[in-house]
Amino acid sequence: MKKNLITVTSPLLPNLDELNLLLKQIWDSKWITNNGQFHKQLEHDLAEYLGVPYISLFTNGTLPLLTALQAFRITGEVITTPYSFVATTHSIWWNGCKPVFVDIDPTTGNINPGNIEAAITPKTTAIMPVHVYGKPCDTEHIQEIADRYGLKVIYDAAHAFGVKVDGESILNAGDISTLSFHATKVYNTIEGGAMVMHDEATKKRIDYLKNFGFAGETEVVGPGINSKVDEVRSVYGLLNLRQVDAAIEARRQVAIRYREVLRNVAGVSFMEDIPGVRHNYSYFPIFIDAETYGTTRDDLYMKMKVANVLGRRYFYPLISEFSTYRGLPSASRENLPNAHKMADSVICLPMHHELSEEDIQRILELIVK
């Protein structure tokens, strides 16, 4: 008999009775979208929870990326990483800019600051790094380069909800950071996202842009878009915020169990926690060295699939390998050796707050020989 399906992720869901009570309040008020009371409260509570000065809600994690580039009038070339979800590069393209891929650090999976300078040309205007798996980028080094060349830094922090370095939110790095609250992420509002900024003036401008550029009833101050979050998803978000710490702790326990066992498996490596960092355990990537392990990454991936355990090959293929972007000069394999190595060896193991000890055993037994 086939065992039950273990999915790679499972959404954090609010309690239905609590949700119902809040939905009743929305229904009674008849204010269902456009910066309603729960929208305002969620922005307030998220800023407090995350430890950031200003935040604007968005309807997903892609639109704040698009809007950030638009807000800063970014043109020309934007330096980015191929080791991410495809939305990172799409946002650059949708702004009429040219993505320039730079190789990653082989241990963190994040853009290697040491490779950035060589990719800068007179057309470069911004850097878009990603905190992959929620592991912090080398933000100091990136900022130093940005300051020297006068570049904006927009972090795709879709994986980095709640991540802190020495008590400081990683979302405060750079000029702007963006979050995704998609159902597959640590914290979700079904679909949703946000942008984090440093000052009130930027928040004001962003809030205009996410509402078609309207600044008041009769004035449009920019080519805006619609990314307004409704009241239903706002209350869903408020309820999930109350339980996200418990979910992160449950994920941490899963990571501890995985590491305990996988530490002794030759040919399998994983990322350790970094001292001083508050991790969110958004993903648990393992890396297969086929020669030592004796099985290829894809064979293990298939073996898990057949056993009804779903891993994900995040991020394979690299963004630079998709036909849309393969033609870019920076997409060449020789330019991105570390990214290719990681993409070819990675499997993200199931990671969420509801994995049972039995599930974890089943997953580990498939990997341990």
Ligand X SMILES: *Cc1c(COP(=O)(O)O)cnc(C)c1O
User: Which residues are marked as active site?
Assistant: 185
For the chain, the C-alpha Rg in angstroms (whole number) is 21
Segment near ligand X (CB under 6 A); pick from 59-67, 103-111, 247-255, 298-306: 59-67
Name the residue whose CB lies closest to ligand X: 61
3-state secondary structure at position 298 = helix
Instruction: Determine which residue in the list 46, 111, 130, 235 makes contact with ligand X, applying CB under 6 A.
Output: 130
Instruction: Determine which residue in the list 71, 74, 87, 348 makes contact with ligand X, applying CB under 6 A.
Output: 87
Residue entry with tokens 């990653």: 104
Pairing of strands 268-270, 176-180: unpaired
Site map for ligand X, 152-181, x if CB under 6 A? ----x-xx--------------------x-
101 near ligand X, judged by CB under 6 A: no
Pairing of strands 98-101, 77-80: parallel
Cβ of residue 53: shortest distance to ligand X, in angstroms? 23
Closer residue to ligand X (CB): 181 or 258: 181
Cβ of residue 233: shortest distance to ligand X, in angstroms? 12
User: What angle do the packed helices 87-94 and 63-71 form, to 10 degrees?
Assistant: 40
85 near ligand X, judged by CB under 6 A: yes
61 near ligand X, judged by CB under 6 A: yes
Q: Could you give the CA distance from residue 348 to residue 316 in angstroms, rounded to a whole number?
A: 11
Residues 183-212 binding ligand X (CB under 6 A) are 193
Total residues found in the chain within this entry: 369
Indicate the residue type of 223.
P
Residue entry with tokens 């898990």: 304
Helical residues (DSSP H) of 279-348, grouped into ranges: 290-293, 297-306, 337-345
Closer residue to ligand X (CB): 194 or 268: 194
Closer residue to ligand X (CB): 63 or 116: 63
